[in-house]
Amino acid sequence: MSSPIMRLNSVSKNFGATQALDNVDFSCESGSIHAILGENGAGKSTLIKIMSGVLQPSAGSLFVADKELKLQSPTQAAQEGVVCIFQELSLVPDLSVADNIFLDSPPKSWGLIDRKKQGEGAEALLARIKCEDIDPSSLVNELSLSRRQMVEIAKALGKKPRVLILDEATSALTSQDVETIYGLLGELKSEGVASLFISHKMQEVERLCDTLSVFRNGQHIETFKKGAKSDSDIVRLMIGRSVDAQFPVKRPMVQRPERLLVKNLCWENQLRGVDLTLGKGEILGLGGLDGQGQKELLLALFGVLRGVDGEVSVEGQFVAPNSPAAAKSAPMNIALVPEDRKTEGLMLPMSIADNLMIASLDRISQGPFISPLKEQQAVEDGIKKLQIKVGSVDHAVSTLSGGNQQKVVIAKWLRTQPDIILLNDPTRGIDVGTKQEIYKLMQELAEQGKSILLYSTDYAELIGCCDRVAVMYDGKIVSELEGEEINEEAIVGASLNIAENMSTRSQGAAI
């Protein structure tokens, strides 16, 4: 066995009274892909932030290639070959792709940035991750979230890492790109790079990693080779207790009265005639490859898009969602849990209580004023219903873990008493425990008669939660699956718009 490229020796980190890392010993080898597993709040983020120089440990020491280092900044870590791809994108939106890739160490001539060389370098790196479609001179804010993530990866590659840390790096990617990244990690492995891989997707971990480490409550629980433990063993290690089946038991299929009816919905060239029905108490899944119009469909229904054509009716009444303000009030009563909770879902510096109430202030107001008493009751009720773990409701919502932040977003929209709830990938980047709670909550809401439209990039979620799944391809719904038909092969087949699945379409449409 080779000596470890990176080693942590009894590292601890505390933020005030909170112990984020507790006496952690950890090491990883060159030429391996090492998964780090744990619930949110287990200390994974703190661990990688210490490794990549963003945070400094309160105690303990860090070695890279047997050299003890005191990393003070991400730059210093990068010079030592430790490069991190963060979950929160580290790209500058108003600069070009090439500028971003070489942001802190651009190629220079005569002391000035050599833009030609930089462009060529960026192009070579993008080609390596099969992103020739990205023009290095386009601005980052012109790219979709998944393309940005690929730029982030190119940026990390440009630093020639010895240790590459990927924090949920695949969660925003399309399945094609994920394959590319898998291939890339394999290549890097054979070149002797150590990859540290943080993911909430077990399949991904199983397929890719050779070594797994489990963290819980700031402690390093165990490290083992792939295959040494079963999935359920691993999950037990992660949460410290055994869990029931991941998804709640499915409800029986029944005929449901129709609530939302969408006919021939078109927008730009991303929605090309979507037909959809959503019943009372139904959970309808939206599947398909990323970028086939699912997000746009949700945004169109929520009144975000301009120039939408087609018919939308709620409870038999034609409606025109012109703005989120119109969409959330009667007669539509729609709620949207948006794609990016940090920018679209929450106002990070504002308090948990403020965030919880921001969409339903009219319900707790008397005349023009917000009633403090009603607000307090509503906040307490919202926190209790979703079991959000908070110290104080007056803390900034940014202090919460990702899973709890997402719960605040959901709780905020439940305060508006919606009939139709649109969910855009609500479990992206959150821990197993919270995921399960969200699945259960969806089912409870459906049982109360709410209609749920769930877009998810995780097929298992669609299979496990939905009464029906509509698969989108190129701006249209190409297939609707129901009951037993909902399985991975059918969804994947329909996502790729493979011909034999077209027969299911006619069945689905008849229902």
Partner 1 sequence: MTKRSFNFGMTMKQNAAFVVAFAVLTVLWLLYNMLHPRGFSSAVLIQNTNESVVIVFVAIAQTLPVLMGGLDLSVGAVMTLTNCVASALMSGSPLQIVFGAFVTLLTGTSFGLLNGLIVVYGRIQPIIATLATGSIAIGFALFIRPQPGGEVDGDLGWALTNDLYELVFTYGWWDADASWFVTISWIPVPLLIIVIVSFGVWIPFKRSVTGRTIYAIGSSESAAFMSGLPIERAKIAAFTLAGFFAACGGLYLAIQTSSGNADISQAGSYTLNSIAAVVLGGTSLLGGIGGAIGSLVGALLLRMMAFYFRIMSIDPLLQPLIEGVVLLTAVSLGAWRTLSTKNRLQLFR
Residues that bind partner 1 (CB under 8 A): 54, 73-76, 78, 86, 88-95, 99-100, 103-104, 106, 111-113, 115, 119, 123-124, 127, 135-139, 141, 155, 267-268, 296, 299, 304-307, 343-344
CB-based contacts of 370: which residues, under 8 Å, 6+ apart? 357, 361, 364
Measured CA to CA, the distance from residue 380 to residue 72 in angstroms comes to 41
> Closest distance between partner 1 and the C-beta of residue 126, in Å?
10
For partner 1, the closer CB: 140 or 486 = 140
Are 265 and 286 within 8 A, CB to CB? no
> Closest distance between partner 1 and the C-beta of residue 229, in Å?
34
Which whole-number Å values give the CA distances from 19 to 207, 280, 330, 385, 494, in the listed order? 33, 46, 47, 28, 47
For partner 1, the closer CB: 113 or 221 = 113
Measured at the alpha carbon of residue 275, what is the angle toward residues 270 and 278, in degrees to the nearest 5? 120
For partner 1, the closer CB: 92 or 498 = 92
For partner 1, the closer CB: 119 or 281 = 119
For partner 1, the closer CB: 42 or 91 = 91
Are 44 and 92 within 8 A, CB to CB? no
Q: 91 is written with which tokens?
A: 């790209």
> Closest distance between partner 1 and the C-beta of residue 384, in Å?
31
For partner 1, the closer CB: 184 or 460 = 184
> Closest distance between partner 1 and the C-beta of residue 357, in Å?
21
> Closest distance between partner 1 and the C-beta of residue 73, in Å?
6
Query: If we measure between CA atoms, which residue out of 282, 250, 200 comes closest to residue 470?
Result: 282
> Closest distance between partner 1 and the C-beta of residue 323, in Å?
8
Cβ contacts of 98-102, under 8 Å, gap ≥ 24:
98/122, 98/123, 98/136, 98/137, 100/140, 100/151, 100/155, 101/125, 101/136, 101/151, 101/154, 101/155, 101/158, 102/158
For partner 1, the closer CB: 283 or 304 = 304
Are 92 and 99 within 8 A, CB to CB? yes
E-only strand ranges, 226-295: 258-267, 271-279, 283-287
Residue 301: exposure state from Cβ atoms within 10 A (0-12, 13-18, ≥19): buried
Are 507 and 497 within 8 A, CB to CB? no
For partner 1, the closer CB: 231 or 268 = 268
Measured at the alpha carbon of residue 297, what is the angle toward residues 130 and 249, in degrees to the nearest 5? 90
For partner 1, the closer CB: 164 or 469 = 164
> Closest distance between partner 1 and the C-beta of residue 312, in Å?
17
> Closest distance between partner 1 and the C-beta of residue 164, in Å?
16
> Closest distance between partner 1 and the C-beta of residue 306, in Å?
5
DSSP single-letter state for residue 243: -
Are 358 and 382 within 8 A, CB to CB? no
Backbone dihedral region of 53: left (phi > 0), alpha (psi from -120 to 50 degrees) or beta? Answer: left
> Closest distance between partner 1 and the C-beta of residue 316, in Å?
28
For partner 1, the closer CB: 57 or 119 = 119
> Closest distance between partner 1 and the C-beta of residue 42, in Å?
22
> Closest distance between partner 1 and the C-beta of residue 145, in Å?
11
For partner 1, the closer CB: 18 or 141 = 141
Strand partners, 112: 109
Question: What is the C-alpha R_g of the chain?
Answer: 24
DSSP single-letter state for residue 397: G
Buried b (16+ CB within 10 A) or exposed e, 166-199: bbbbbbbbbeebbebbeebbeebbeeebbbbbbb
For partner 1, the closer CB: 187 or 268 = 268
